[in-house]
């Protein structure tokens, strides 16, 4: 009788208990929507992967020292954050072979309703390792090519489920690049204790070749301009990568606001051994003629900040041929410390996108600079120049370009007996220069790079077989790398080296063509261009050998403000014989950046490390964009 009574009492209380749980869940849901501050993260159940390792894959970081000082925005809890972090941790466990791991992320009030603690509960389960792999399907030669992807699943290594999914995608991409865009790859897994065997099945579908190419949307552009970029031939084997490359080529012409290439299968027999795909290219043209106005701030040697503006009138698609021309008027001003005109420049530019049937954008630029008389100069320098530039891009990240430059200078307002000495000292004379530059740039974002690298080599050859009044060469190498070391902190590193020398009996390298270091973009803590050789009055004359190394830690603070810790090292010498490690100048500092639409606005404070050749000092730099 007592047992029956107990059961009745329990049944009577079930609705009340369930109601209490429902009420608690509703209250927590409403509380999370108030976006409390995430003050703490607690983890339990994780043994194989330490807490530090799991925190590294989480996107949220609890409130820390900078947040408490209000120098960095406080992390606020929101409803999607719990599910997102649960997915991140689950993904990390699957990556390390724990396919059966279960992760639960919840939030509770911490101290008061305005603060929260995130609690992570883990059931790790058993770890699995790769066993045997096999690929079946037709055609056999295509299946054989896919083996190189399955080789990444090394027997005995932790079974990374994310890697398995990536390999399937890579296999399908390989098929699409070899005429089988409709191929399907299935990966079947079989568990044996702690071992996972994988069987890949290939269903290649029909082999696809290119048929007709139709183009929609052309109004002013000639048809041959588009066809020379596409260069598809009927009967050519389908390749998805080639389609993407041709789409990017059309975008890079600057003629189109929209480019879309879509395959259309005209035959309906999906089981046929071979089929034809017609390509439909849909285009939206940009207006050919334009009038533009550009303005921006920058730096100039020995000046805090300069302001440049330019007015340009031109055509990006002259007569529908894809050729471009532009007329530009540009002026620069010194601002902040004073307000005066710095320079004027008028130029005309013409670009031929294809030369001799090759995609080699070639630009001819003619420029005239009337010169401006400054308060420190009793003379005016007039420059006339011509430049022929040829550019070639290889794949997505690589670029090479060369140029031939002719420059002639006239000087007004100085006595005839001083004219030659000024020409020799400043290098103001007739120059004939050949330039070759190579660049590889894998940065996804040029303003705020968080990954990738940039390598650039510049070689200048002046005079010699080109003629002119001076003969020298100049080589400049730079390399920079960017990587996230602990989200969201970014480590940026740059190395630079350069040297210049004489050839063909040359007697001097003009001061304007030498290397200069010091300032906001090289060695901070020193004034602009002040590092290196100088004349008897202390004015910089430039060096022939440079070495530079920069290191930065960049992290966001609050809103659009970033904070930087940096170290700079380098020097500038007259020759290789003068180069020694003990001469390296070092400076350390901190910086604050505001990320504006035009790029980061930067304020840096740097202090010199003691050096016998330079007094201990510090300096504040105001600039635009990061130093590198």
**Structure confidence at residue 66 (pLDDT):** 66
Supply the DSSP string of 594-619, one letter for each residue. EEETTEEEEEEEEEEPPBTTB---EE
CB atoms within 10 A of CB 54: 20
Q: If you average pLDDT over residues 185-203, what whole number do you get?
A: 93
Tell me: cis bond preceding 220? Omega within 30 of 0 counts.
no
pLDDT exceeds cutoff 70 at 415: no
In eight-state DSSP terms, residue 510 is -
pLDDT at residue 187, rounded to an integer: 93
Assign 3-class secondary structure to 544-592. CEEEEEEEEEEEEEECCEEEEEEEEEEEEECCHHHCCHHHCEEEEEEEE
Condensed to tens digits (0 to 9), the pLDDT of residues 140-188 reads 889 989 989 988 999 999 999 999 999 999 999 999 999 999 999 999 9
More confident: 476 or 333: 476
* pLDDT for position 71: 62
| Percent of the chain residues past pLDDT 90, beyond the cut | 54
Q: Give CA–CA dist 25/33, Å, rounded.
A: 13
Residue 428's pLDDT band (cuts 50, 70, 90): low
Whether residue 611 has pLDDT greater than 70: yes
pLDDT at residue 572 above 80? yes
Q: Which of 319, 326, 253, 333 has the alpha carbon at shortest distance from 292?
A: 326
Q: Out of 68-72, 361-365, 379-383, 442-446, give the one with best mean pLDDT.
A: 361-365
Non-local (6+) Cβ contacts of 222 within 8 A are 320, 321, 322
pLDDT confidence of residue 10: 36
Query: Cα separation of 102 and 21, whole Å?
Result: 23
Q: What is the pLDDT of residues 346-364, one digit of tens each?
A: 999 999 999 988 889 999 9
Between residues 620 and 6, which one has the greater pLDDT? 620
Q: What is the predicted pLDDT for the residue at 308? A: 82
Instruction: Say which residue, 435 or 623, is predicted with more confidence.
Output: 435
Distances (CA, A) of 203 to 186, 437, 452, 498: 8, 47, 36, 55
Q: Which of 344, 345, 339, 328 is nearest to 306 (CA)?
A: 339
pLDDT of 2 above 70: no
Range of lowest pLDDT (26-30, 476-480, 544-548): 26-30
- What pLDDT shows up at residue 283? 96
> Residue 151: how many CB atoms within 10 A of its CB?
10
Helix (H) or strand (E) holding 451: none
The secondary element (H helix, E strand) that includes residue 56 is: helix 51-57
Q: In 3D, which of 183, 176, 190 has the Cα closest to residue 133?
A: 190
Q: What per-residue confidence (pLDDT) applies to 67?
A: 67
DSSP per-residue string spanning 253-321: TT-EEEEEEEEEE----TTSSEEEEEEEEEEEEPPSEEEEEEEEEEEETTEEEEEEEEEEEEEEEETTT
Residue 299 has a pLDDT of: 53
Place of tokens 């940096």: 566
Range from 207-221, 419-433, 472-486, 499-513 carrying the lowest mean pLDDT: 419-433
Separation between Cα atoms, residue 347 and residue 465, nearest integer Å: 27
Task: Give the pLDDT band of residue 279 (cuts 50, 70, 90).
Answer: very high
Residue 11 has pLDDT above 50, yes or no: no
Whole-angstrom distance, CA of residue 512 vs CA of residue 423: 11
Judged against a pLDDT cut of 50, whether residue 84 lies above it is answered with yes
What pLDDT shows up at residue 272?
A: 86
Candidate from 275-284, 296-305, 482-491 with smallest mean pLDDT: 296-305
Q: Output the six-digit token pair for 4.
A: 């029956």
Cβ–Cβ under 8 Å, residues 439 and 454: yes
Whole-number pLDDT of residue 337: 55
76: left (phi over 0), alpha (psi -120 to 50) or beta: beta
d(CA 533, CA 578) in angstroms, rounded, equals 11
> Residue 616 to residues 308, 354, 388, 536, 585: CA-CA distances in angstroms?
34, 56, 46, 21, 11
Reported as a pLDDT band with limits 50, 70 and 90, residue 373 is: low
Q: What is the mean pLDDT of the chain?
A: 86
Give 119: exposed, middle or buried? Use CB within 10 Å, 0-12, 13-18, 19+: middle
Distance CA 433, CA 410 (A): 18
């Amino acid at each position: 009788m007592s047992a029956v009574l107990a059961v009745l009492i329990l049944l009577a209380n079930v609705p009340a208990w369930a109601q209490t749980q429902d009420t608690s869940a509703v209250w927590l849901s409403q509380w999370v929507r108030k976006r409390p501050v995430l003050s703490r993260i607690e983890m339990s159940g994780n043994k194989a992967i330490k807490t530090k390792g799991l925190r590294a894959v989480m996107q949220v970081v609890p409130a820390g020292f900078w947040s408490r000082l209000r120098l960095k925005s406080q992390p606020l809890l929101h409803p999607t954050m719990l599910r997102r972090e649960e997915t991140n941790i689950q993904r990390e466990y699957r990556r390390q072979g724990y396919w059966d791991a279960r992760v639960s992320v919840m939030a509770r009030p911490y101290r008061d309703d305005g603060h929260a603690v995130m609690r992570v509960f883990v059931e790790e389960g058993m770890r699995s390792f790769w066993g045997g792999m096999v690929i079946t399907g037709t055609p056999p030669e295509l299946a054989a090519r896919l083996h190189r992807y399955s080789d990444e699943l090394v027997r005995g290594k932790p079974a990374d489920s994310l890697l398995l999914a990536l390999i399937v995608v890579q296999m399908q991409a390989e098929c699409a690049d070899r005429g089988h865009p409709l191929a399907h790859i299935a990966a079947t897994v079989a568990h044996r204790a702690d071992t996972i065997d994988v069987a890949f099945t290939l269903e290649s579908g029909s082999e696809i070749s290119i048929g007709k190419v139709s183009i929609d949307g052309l109004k002013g552009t000639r048809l041959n301009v588009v066809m020379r970029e596409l260069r598809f031939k009927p009967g050519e084997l389908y390749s998805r990568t080639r389609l993407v490359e041709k789409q990017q080529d059309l975008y890079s012409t600057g003629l189109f606001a929209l480019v879309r290439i879509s395959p259309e299968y005209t035959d309906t027999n999906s089981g046929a051994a071979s089929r034809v795909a017609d390509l439909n290219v849909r285009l939206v043209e940009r207006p050919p003629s334009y009038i533009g106005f550009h303005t921006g701030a920058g730096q100039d040697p020995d000046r805090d900040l300069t302001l440049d503006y330019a007015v340009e009138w031109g055509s990006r698609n002259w007569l529908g041929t894809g050729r471009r021309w532009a007329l530009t008027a540009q002026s620069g001003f010194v601002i902040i410390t004073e307000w005066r005109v710095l320079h004027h420049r008028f130029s005309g530019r013409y670009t031929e996108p294809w030369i001799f049937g090759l995609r080699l954008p070639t630009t001819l630029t003619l420029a005239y600079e009337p010169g401006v008389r400054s308060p420190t100069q009793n003379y005016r320098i007039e420059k006339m120049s011509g430049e022929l530039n040829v550019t070639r891009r290889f794949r997505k990240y690589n670029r090479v370009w060369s140029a031939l430059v002719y420059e002639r200078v006239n000087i007004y307002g100085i006595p005839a007996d001083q004219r030659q000495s000024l020409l020799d000292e400043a290098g103001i004379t007739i120059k004939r220069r050949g330039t070759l530059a190579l660049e590889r740039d894998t940065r996804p974002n040029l303003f705020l790079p968080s990954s990738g690298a940039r390598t650039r080599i510049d070689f200048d050859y002046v005079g010699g077989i080109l003629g002119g009044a001076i003969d020298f060469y100049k080589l400049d190498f730079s390399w920079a790398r960017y990587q996230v070391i602990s989200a969201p902190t970014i480590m940026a590193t740059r190395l630079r080296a350069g040297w210049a020398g004489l050839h063909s009996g040359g007697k001097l390298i003009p001061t304007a063509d030498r290397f200069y270091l010091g300032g906001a973009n090289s060695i901070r803590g020193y004034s602009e261009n002040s590092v290196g050789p100088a004349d008897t009055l202390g004015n910089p004359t430039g060096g022939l050998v440079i070495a530079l190394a920069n290191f930065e830690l960049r992290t966001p603070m609050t809103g659009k403000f970033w904070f930087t810790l940096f170290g700079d090292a380098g020097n500038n010498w007259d020759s290789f014989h003068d180069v020694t490690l003990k001469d390296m100048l070092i400076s350390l500092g901190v910086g604050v950046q505001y990320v504006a639409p035009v790029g980061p606005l930067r304020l840096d404070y740097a202090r010199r490390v003691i050096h016998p050749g330079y007094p201990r000092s510090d300096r504040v730099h105001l600039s635009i964009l990061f130093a590198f």
